Structure 1
Amino acid sequence: MSITIRLAQKVDALPIARLHYLTWRETYRALAPQTAYDLMTEEARLARWQSMLSHAESERIIVVVEAEGQLAGFGAAGPASHEIYQDRAEIKFLYVGTVFKRMGIGRKLLLHLARCMMEAGYNGIGLGVVIGNDPAIAFYEKLGGEKVGSYTDPGPVWRSQNYLYVWDDLPAFLAQERKSILNDKRDSLP
């Protein structure tokens, strides 16, 4: 499968919003309060993504992942939005579409964002995971994420309780990417 990761552009707002809406509803149906679930419409997501992609912040990176020409996921990283992150960068969004899960896309996306944040001068990264989102927790722990605390994310419509997962040695974490690429190349040989 051909996978590419590239910087998001303004024209990506609608596909990102649609994927964000669908994936969020599936992931948080049993976790989010009904009011938040009802307010997080595709239109609300579209307005937010149009705004974020129109007002690019020099310190935040937003990328999309395409698999065989289809939007498979997206991610964003930059300066932390909560003091619990300390001097780490924050992975603010990391979403993979349902049909593309378990294909290594999430791993590649996380590693790509980590590399971008290291190149921006950060030594570590962190991300918040809603308590109860067990598949995501298992995924981050499998990739070596260390749970170092918890906090309340004020969010736009829902104050969610989150665990903070961190990777404080980005060179070691990124060594996984090099190993992964070599393994992927070896596995694709006839």
Structure 2
Amino acid sequence: MSINIKPCTIEDLSILQEISYETFNETFKDQNSPEIMNAYLEKAFNVKQLEKELSNIFSRFFFVYFNNEVAGYLKVNSHDAQSENMGEDSLEIERIYVRAKFQKLGLGKYLINKAIEIAVEQGKNKIWLGVWEKNENAIAFYKKIGFVQAGTHSFYMGNEEQIDFIMIKSLV
């Protein structure tokens, strides 16, 4: 069994888009209508949007490989790329997506550790993320590894407001 992480670049855009659609759909399709899902996927993961995100100097993407197959990815944001203003001492984990067939293999923890490594390299005091209030498995995972709920924010699927818990892990 081999696990590797490699930076994702603009040359990886098509596989990034494919994994984004696949993993988001796998995770949330049962709780949202097909119309809302399709509209969100097209807005959030179209080529122009992903190019813009990949080009932002304050956002970084990493693929995780399991036995040389792309199993998922991590997106972290600092400075003004963060989806909420959490301060200069924070690093956001905006996306941590693992394909269904690779879940329960420890890849999520591997990606979290990569985010922590980046945060420490950048001198950050905390990492944070938003997780849907109904995603009980993810919430339990984040709590188990030391994240605590520190608030909420709105996340929109189409015109439907959903609530994300903001969870923070202190690094000091």
TM-score, normalising length: structure 1 = 0.78
Q: Which moved more, 1:37-46 or 1:23-32?
A: 37-46
Partner SS for 2:30: coil
Query: 2 CA distance for matches of 1:133 and 1:104?
Result: 18
Distance 1:110 1:46 in 2: 25
Read off the aligned partner of 2:138 and give its amino acid letter: A
Structure 1 equivalent of residue 130 of structure 2: 128
Q: For residue 31 of structure 1, what is the aligned residue in structure 2? A: 31
**Alpha-carbon offset, residue 154 of structure 1:** 5.0
Q: Counterparts in 2 of 1:1-190, with a 5 A limit?
A: 1-32=1-32, 34-41=34-41, 45-47=45-47, 48-53=49-54, 55=55, 57-79=56-78, 80-83=82-85, 85-86=86-87, 87-153=89-155, 159-169=161-171
Instruction: State the aligned residue count.
Output: 167
CA distance in 2: counterparts of 1:125 and 1:108, whole angstroms: 15
CA contact (8 A) 2:2 2:67 kept: yes
Query: Unpaired segments of 5 or more residues in structure 2?
Result: none
Identity %: 25
Distance 1:21 1:146 in 2: 28
Q: CA deviation at 1:46?
A: 4.2
Deviation at 1:159, TM superposition (A): 3.7
**How far has the Cα of 1:38 moved from its partner?**
2.2
Structure (1 or 2) with the greater strand fraction: 2
SS, match of residue 163 in structure 2: strand
Residue 33 of structure 1 contacts residue 158 of structure 1 at CA under 8 Å; is this kept in 2? no
Distance 1:46 1:22 in 2: 13
Cα distance in 2, alignment partners of residues 145 and 153 from structure 1: 20
Report deviation, 1:43.
8.9
CA RMSD of superposed structures (Å): 2.2
Who wins on radius of gyration, i.e. which is larger? 1
